[in-house]
A and B are shown apart, each in its own frame.
Chain A
């Protein structure tokens, strides 16, 4: 397969067809912040933190690098005043839910995000979907899923599956950026796991 050459932050980067801008940047040692990205999972494009500026054929637009495919002569800028402002706002919106998340804290420092900017609603989950997608795509168990829609959306363990599969696995636990997943699991286990006699 022929190589594709693109430019990221002024540096020429070699990539192959079908690769995303994020993957190309990572292969060249250029860091782009992410929250919902995981190398073993299908790109999700949910947190929007990896947003970058892409210029092709004279047109510049903001795109999300974890899903945007590389193309020849694409010019990518990973930081700009606008990009930083958007990343800062996204982080502030998430900090309203998970003000003590270490992952969010580190990023907040880089982008000057104020965790008190928006009214807090400490529900902890930031809906990155890492647990749900890891369980579905890698483990193929679907022991945890999303329920409901929009601002009412939350993660939920399915007791019948989780009671059988989770205790020996728990591979999703370290993926959670806010530790809410563990709490949700413990609650499900305590409240609705079928008893062993059943």
Chain B
């Protein structure tokens, strides 16, 4: 393949790709993202290949492994074009039926379609599924259409047309102004306006400048950047090149965490392909503009997602943050102007250049424009990636898209913004999602993690969990974070273990103030959020733990006891058999009793007691009733319908 040396050559090549493709030819797209692979997508892909070969259909059907379309809960996801029939939870055993029915007979296999849990209706197309219906997918939408290892697929969908437009029809300042006008805010955490960041770098006197992709996605439960890197790496690359052009940089870096091997592989492949086509390297599309990209793998430190720590690590030193009273866009990597933006931010750039800033600002709220991808996880029916317009309410995300809380449990809180985000309670669910709105509610947008919690979740324990994560990830350079978090974690652990004391809340507040005001970087400054937001909305839970040694969610092991209600136990013997601590005294027709001395609070009895009896109860904050006397343990009258 010769390098494309002009925008026209790119356009001609695109037409050539399209002319070779028959839009009516069936194409089987199978999600090959990390989530679906974990659910067996590789085996499904292999089964399709084998079946197609067996049936001699190689010439009539295409198959491709694509990026993640987001509905991880029901993976592996298979979409069949041109009809766009969407099959969920496909197994290798389903493959022959799909080939014989859908490909050969053009019939839909009903049982593999999405079935609405409320109406029972089946959805043939992706867009009919409730999970997708309320989303607005401008960034993620191409994932399922693209074989992420094939640049031609991206080109067929107008890929690199924004780059061609920028280089041939716009000056660097035009590009900058368009991005500024779009009011695109950073998708990685603080939501700083990208255009303003770029402008600062462009105007900085130092001639050598850098553009960097922050792909060090480390928040527990977050995987939107991974899905984009794995599924549509060229969109990020295209955005980065456009950014480089806008600020006058000839060198870009992609800082991607080592824990994302598929993303590393796909982005490296994408760079090679783009170079071969003349979309990267010297004299891009004959414009005279040169740009090179390097991939740097992180070494496993969460703090390297922080801008100055990331740049220090890129320089080959220990990834620790440095004081930044001069912004990195003026003095960043190797003390040179450096624009660092998150994966999703870069992926939005080609869309803004192609469709214009006005298109982008039509979506969203006053201060937050465009769409945002969230990874919706936790106690939620539809786990997955969702892309929604800014301004949608949390309630719509959780109930309309997420399908609500499973197992008939009650919603308690949603944690947004990653480990240093905050928990938002039921009464705030009508909050419109946006950078400033979430901050005002004591949480933050962060990079878009969204962890849903139900009534069984203890909010003190949640705070303890996240503070523990951050203590572990603190780089240790500054005292308020390293020592402050260590003490906060110790105090929170004590509270969840029933060793909380009067004054603990106040002490935690003092430590929070010190960390927020005096920490060196954003990790420390935002680290107390899990505590502060849960205290703000769930203070009663803290007080119950400390004053009554009671865990209202019946979750903290040290504060609960298991007890068999003598009025409900029918001596079925299941708990007796399953108890790993041999703490249950049972026997035929004898009401079972838990020996509290031996019990390890593992909860097995609670889980195995048949729901129709429901005899095992959790108790917290009050003494366990004494065991019933031996003579009363015999179950005398046992009616048949109890069995």
A residues sitting closer than 8 Å to B (CB atoms) are 43-49, 51, 62-64, 67-69, 82, 85-86, 89-90, 93-94, 96-97, 117-119, 126-127, 146, 148-153
Q: Chain B residues with Cβ under 8 A from A44's Cβ?
A: 477
B518 lies within 8 A of A62 (CB): yes
Q: Are A150 and B482 in contact (CB under 8 A)?
A: yes
Q: With contacts A90-B514, A93-B483, A151-B482 known, is A67 near B325, CB below 8 A?
A: yes
Contacting pair A48 B471 (CB below 8 A): no
Q: A85-B513, A150-B475 are in contact. Are A48 and B482 (CB under 8 A)?
A: no
Q: Which residues of B contact A94 (CB under 8 A)?
A: 479, 483
- Which of A43, A49, A146, A152 makes the CB contact (< 8 A) with B323? A43
Query: With the chains together, A48 CA to B325 CA distance in Å?
Result: 14
Whole-angstrom distance between the Cβ of B306 and the nearest chain A Cβ: 14
| Complex: A119 Cα to B507 Cα, angstroms | 12
Across the interface, do B520 and A150 meet the contact criterion of CB distance under 8 Å? no
Find chain B residues with CB under 8 A from A126 CB: 479
Provide a sorted-by-A list of 27 A–B residue pairs whose CB atoms are within 8 angstroms: A43-B323, A44-B477, A46-B477, A48-B479, A48-B518, A48-B519, A69-B326, A82-B517, A85-B510, A86-B513, A86-B514, A90-B479, A90-B480, A90-B483, A90-B518, A93-B514, A96-B483, A96-B487, A126-B479, A127-B479, A149-B301, A149-B476, A150-B471, A151-B476, A151-B483, A151-B486, A153-B475
Which residue on A lies nearest to B318, using beta carbons? A146
User: Does B472 reach chain A (CB closer than 8 Å)?
Assistant: yes
Q: Give the docked Cα–Cα distance between A82 and B510 (Å).
A: 10
> With A85-B510, A151-B476, A151-B482 given, is the CB distance from A64 to B323 under 8 Å?
yes
Task: Please name all residues of chain B whose beta carbon is closer than 8 Å to the beta carbon of A64 when the two chains form the complex.
Answer: 323, 518, 520
Report whether A127 and B518 are in contact in the complex, using a CB–CB cutoff of 8 Å.
no
Which of A48, A49, A86, A153 counts the most chain B CB atoms within 10 A? A48
Neighbouring A residues of B510 by C-beta, 8 Å: 85, 89
Report B-chain residues with C-beta under 8 Å of the C-beta of A45: 322-323, 477-478, 520
Interface centre among A63, A89, A90, by most chain B C-beta atoms within 10 angstroms, is: A89
Q: Considering the chains assembled together, what is the distance between the CA atoms of A179 and B490 in angstroms?
A: 27
Output the residue of A45, A51, A97, A152 with the most chain B CB within 10 A: A45
**Binary contact readout B318-336 vs A (1 if CB under 8 angstroms, 0 otherwise):** 1000110110000000000
B569-583 residues with Cβ-Cβ distance < 8 A to A are none
Main secondary structure on chain B at its contact with chain A? helix
A68-B513 contact in complex given A48-B480, A90-B480, A150-B475, C-beta closer than 8 Å: no
CB of A171, distance to nearest CB on chain B (Å): 23
> Which residues of B are found within 8 Å of A150, using beta-carbon distances?
471-476, 482
B487 — which chain A residues lie within 8 A by C-beta?
93, 96, 118-119
- Interface residues on chain B, number (Cβ under 8 Å): 32
Least CB separation from A61: chain B residue = B517
Q: Which residues of A contact B478 (CB under 8 A)?
A: 45-48
On whether the beta carbons of A46 and B471 are closer than 8 Å, the reply is no
Contact of A127 among B301, B482, B490, B513 (CB under 8 A): B482
> For chain B residues 465-513, which have a beta carbon within 8 Å of chain A?
471-480, 482-487, 490, 507, 510-511, 513
Least Cβ–Cβ distance between A89 and chain B, in angstroms: 4
B242 CB → nearest A CB, Å: 33
Residues of A within 8 A of B480 (CB): 48, 86, 89-90, 93
Minimum CB–CB distance from A46 to chain B (whole Å) comes to: 5
| 433-491 of chain B: CB within 8 A of chain A | 471-480, 482-487, 490
Besides A46-B477, A69-B326, 20 other A-B contacts (C-beta < 8 A): A46-B520, A51-B518, A62-B517, A62-B518, A63-B325, A86-B513, A89-B511, A89-B514, A90-B483, A93-B480, A93-B484, A119-B490, A127-B477, A146-B318, A148-B476, A150-B473, A150-B475, A151-B476, A151-B485, A152-B476
Residues 396 to 451 of chain B near chain A (Cβ within 8 Å)? none
Closest to B510 in A: A89
A137 → chain B, closest Cβ, in Å?
14
On chain A, the residues within 8 Å of B486 by CB distance are 151
Measured CA separation A67–B471 after assembly (Å): 25
Residue interface mask B297-341, A partner, CB < 8 A = 1: 000010000000000000000100011011000000000000000
Contact of A67 among B323, B474, B507, B518 (CB under 8 A): B323
Measured CA separation A46–B571 after assembly (Å): 63
> What is the minimal beta-carbon distance from B436 to any residue of chain A, in angstroms?
18
CB-nearest residue of chain B relative to A48? B518
Please report the C-alpha to C-alpha distance between residue A22 and residue B38 in the assembled complex, in whole angstroms.
55
Interface string of B338-351 (1 = CB under 8 A from A): 00000000000000
Nearest B residue to A121 via CB reads: B486
Q: How far does the Cβ of A31 sit from chain B's closest Cβ, in whole Å?
A: 19
Which B residues are in CB contact (< 8 Å) with A86?
480, 513-514, 517-518
Q: In the complex the two chains form, what is the Cα distance from A88 to B424 in whole Å?
A: 32
CB-defined contacts of B471 to chain A, threshold 8 Å: 150-151
Cβ–Cβ contact B490 & A48, under 8 A: no
Smallest CB separation, A81 vs chain B (Å): 12
Question: Using Cβ atoms and an 8 Å threshold, which residues of chain A touch B475?
Answer: 149-150, 153
Q: A46 to B524, alpha carbons, bound, how many Å? A: 12
User: How far is B490's CA from A92's CA once the two chains are assembled, in angstroms?
Assistant: 15
Smallest CB-CB separation from A43: which chain B residue?
A: B323
A68 and B520 alpha carbons, distance in the complex (Å): 12
A47 — which chain B residues lie within 8 A by C-beta? 478-479
B258 nearest CB across to chain A (Å): 16
Q: Which residue of A lies closest to B326 (CB)?
A: A69
Nearest chain B residue, comparing its CB with the CB of A45: B323
| Complex interface: chain B residues within 8 A of A148 (CB) | 476
CB-nearest residue of chain A to B517? A62
Complex-state Cα separation, A49 to B482, whole angstroms: 14
When distances are taken between beta carbons in the complex, the residues of chain B under 8 Å from A67 are: 323, 325
A43 shortest CB reach to chain B, Å:
7
**Which residues does chain B contribute within 8 Å of A48, judged by CB atoms?**
478-480, 518-520
* Chain A residue with the shortest CB-CB distance to B471: A151
Please give the distance in Å from B489's CB to the nearest CB on chain A: 9
**Highest count of chain A CB atoms <10 Å: which of B301, B477, B478, B519:** B477
